[in-house]
């Protein structure tokens, strides 16, 4: 198959590969890599396109994971599940739930493929449970020589530590073994709160909740907070009407209309944000964990997110607020703030330090470059690490300063892909040629 136009979800990048392949298993993926080598083509695996960067873009061979979607096994006694790389997170969640299992933590969007989400460092918010990559206990991948190998903390640990968040640059990942536990219920409590109060109470809010996050509305001092904690039950999910009203109609249909208006009349954005923030009311419900963690996001946007040292968050947000208060930008999307414990994944944004994530968004079609540049200056002033799948301008010279194991990871890359079979323009910028 040739002449396929592929694009990211937000249409930030497009690709027209010379050839594509849809492998049905690791052996076929290995055959595709060997075929690409014979033709002298680079190889990239794509996912759902939810990365905003060009991390998956190639003009060589593009692998489509639509046949790599099986949940191979669930072993509750061992606390593991083996899933193929192209499985959408939402499908995995449903399959695990039917087996009585669940992931400990996940992000708030669940349409990404497993490989796309894990390889770019996708995360949720958690006091004790980290991002998806920290829940990986084993990987199956195809090397640049077209061989299928496995790795874990016990088997080729250096490849394992480097490749969990590896942008596909260490091999084509075909399956993951994930740590799972018994399925559980989460009680969700959402309520508005002033930003100053959130920052003042931050140590308490983080310590007292397993999963805490908040959304700050630029040009206001208002936030919406979310606290998720495990409970025994019973389940008390939102009614179908309330779920539709809040998560489909208001958060998607109405929010899209509001942003269309804001794009046409940016001067009205501060007033719109005040109305939006004050229109929110408290709610609480209890449901299966994956239904609480993730919600539908149909409004398209462009995003930048940085991981900053958790202790720097108040200063970062105050400076970001000063940026928006100066009047140079009109930002209609809330700023999302989440947390993660330190982990041991070499290229994870939370490697070695408790982390706060600050994500800024701009509605698709609205200008974002100047605002993102000003926000990025704030984030990098505290040695922030950019999310690998979201917009940023950092290159290797910066990244090797903020990742203590960066050189170790690149040494592994030199070993497993010396000819850069899995390279593209993005990996060349962030990892080097």
What's residue 297's pLDDT? 85
The DSSP result for 162-205, as a single string, is HHTT-TTSS-EEEEEEEE-EE--EEEEEEEEEEHHHHHHTHHHH
Return the residue matching tokens 């959408």.
88
Return the residue matching tokens 């920290």.
134
pLDDT digits 0-9 by tens, 267-315: 988 898 988 888 888 999 999 999 999 988 889 999 999 999 999 999 9
pLDDT digits 0-9 by tens, 226-264: 999 999 989 999 888 888 778 887 788 888 888 888 888
Angle at 295 between CA 293 and CA 300, to 5 degrees: 130
123 closest CA partner among 325, 286, 420, 354: 354
What's residue 66's pLDDT? 95
- Give the CA distances from residue 278 to residues 26, 140, 241, 266, 274, in Å, rounded to whole numbers and listed in that order: 51, 48, 22, 19, 6
Which secondary structure element, helix H or strand E, spans residue 230, and what is its range? strand 222-231
Residue 49 confidence (pLDDT) above 80: yes
213 closest CA partner among 109, 304, 131, 108: 108
Q: What angle separates helix 269-279 from helix 255-264, to the nearest 10 degrees?
A: 160
Which residues, listed in sequence order, are joined to residue 340 by a DSSP beta bridge? 355
Q: Provide the token pair at 7.
A: 């694009």
Angle at 128 between CA 201 and CA 150, to 5 degrees: 150
Which residues, listed in sequence order, are joined to residue 29 by a DSSP beta bridge? none
Rounded to an integer, what distance in angstroms lies between the CA atom of residue 116 and that of residue 223? 30
What's residue 240's pLDDT? 87
Q: Provide the token pair at 189.
A: 């409590």
HEC per residue, 95-123: HHHHCCEECCCCCCCCCCEHHHHHHCCCC
* Position 3 confidence tier, pLDDT thresholds 50, 70, 90: low
335 closest CA partner among 355, 314, 359, 313: 359
CB neighbour list of residue 360: distance below 8 Å, 6 or more residues apart? 303, 304, 305, 320, 331, 333, 335, 371, 372, 375
Residue 2 confidence (pLDDT) above 60: no
Please give the model's pTM, rounded to 2 decimal places: 0.95
Q: What is the mean pLDDT of the chain?
A: 95
pLDDT digits 0-9 by tens, 181-194: 999 999 999 999 99
Q: What percent of the chain has pLDDT over 70?
A: 99
Q: Are 76 and 101 in contact (CB under 8 A)?
A: yes
What's residue 1's pLDDT? 46
Q: Are 222 and 321 in contact (CB under 8 A)?
A: no
Q: Are 225 and 193 in contact (CB under 8 A)?
A: yes
What's residue 59's pLDDT? 95
Q: Are 174 and 69 in contact (CB under 8 A)?
A: no
Q: Provide the token pair at 127.
A: 């006091």
Rounded to an integer, what distance in angstroms lies between the CA atom of residue 154 and that of residue 170? 18
């Amino acid at each position: 198959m040739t002449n396929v136009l592929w694009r990211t979800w937000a249409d930030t990048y497009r690709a027209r590969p010379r050839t594509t392949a849809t492998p049905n298993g690791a052996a076929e993926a290995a055959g595709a890599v060997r075929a690409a080598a014979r033709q002298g083509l680079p190889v990239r695996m794509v996912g759902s396109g939810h990365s905003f960067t060009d991390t998956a873009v190639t003009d060589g061979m593009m692998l489509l994971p639509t046949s790599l979607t099986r949940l191979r096994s669930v072993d509750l006694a061992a606390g593991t599940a083996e899933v193929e790389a192209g499985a959408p997170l939402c499908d995995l969640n449903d399959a695990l739930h039917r087996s009585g299992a669940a992931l400990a933590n996940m992000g708030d969007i669940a349409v990404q493929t497993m490989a796309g989400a894990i390889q770019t460092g996708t995360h949720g918010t958690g006091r004790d449970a980290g991002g998806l990559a920290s829940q990986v206990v084993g990987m199956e991948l195809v090397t640049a020589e077209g061989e299928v190998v496995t790795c874990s903390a016990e088997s080729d640990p250096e490849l394992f530590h480097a490749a969990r968040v590896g942008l596909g640059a260490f091999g084509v990942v075909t399956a993951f073994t994930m740590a799972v536990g018994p399925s559980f219920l989460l009680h969700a409590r959402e309520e508005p709160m002033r930003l100053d109060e959130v920052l003042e109470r931050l140590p308490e809010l983080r310590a007292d909740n397993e999963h805490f996050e908040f959304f700050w509305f630029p040009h206001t001092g208002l936030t919406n907070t979310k606290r998720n904690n495990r409970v025994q039950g019973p389940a008390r999910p939102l009614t179908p009407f309330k779920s539709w009203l809040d998560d489909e109609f208001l958060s998607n249909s109405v929010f899209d209309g509001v942003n269309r208006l804001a794009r046409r009349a940016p001067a009205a954005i501060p007033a719109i944000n005040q109305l939006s923030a004050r229109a929110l009311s408290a709610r609480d419900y209890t449901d299966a964990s994956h239904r609480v963690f993730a919600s539908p996001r149909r409004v398209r946007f462009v995003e930048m997110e940085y991981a900053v040292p958790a202790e720097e968050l108040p200063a970062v947000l105050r400076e970001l607020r000063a940026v928006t208060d100066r009047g140079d930008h009109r930002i209609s999307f809330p700023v999302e703030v989440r947390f993660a414990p330190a982990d041991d994944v070499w290229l994870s944004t939370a490697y070695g330090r408790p982390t706060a994530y600050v994500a800024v968004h701009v509605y698709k079609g609205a200008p974002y470059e100047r605002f993102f540049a000003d926000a990025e200056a704030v984030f990098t002033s505290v040695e922030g690490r950019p999310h690998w799948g979201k917009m940023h301008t950092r290159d290797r010279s910066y990244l090797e300063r903020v990742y203590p194991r960066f050189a170790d990871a690149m040494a592994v890359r030199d070993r497993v892909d010396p000819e850069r079979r899995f390279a593209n323009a993005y990996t060349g910028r962030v990892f080097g040629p």
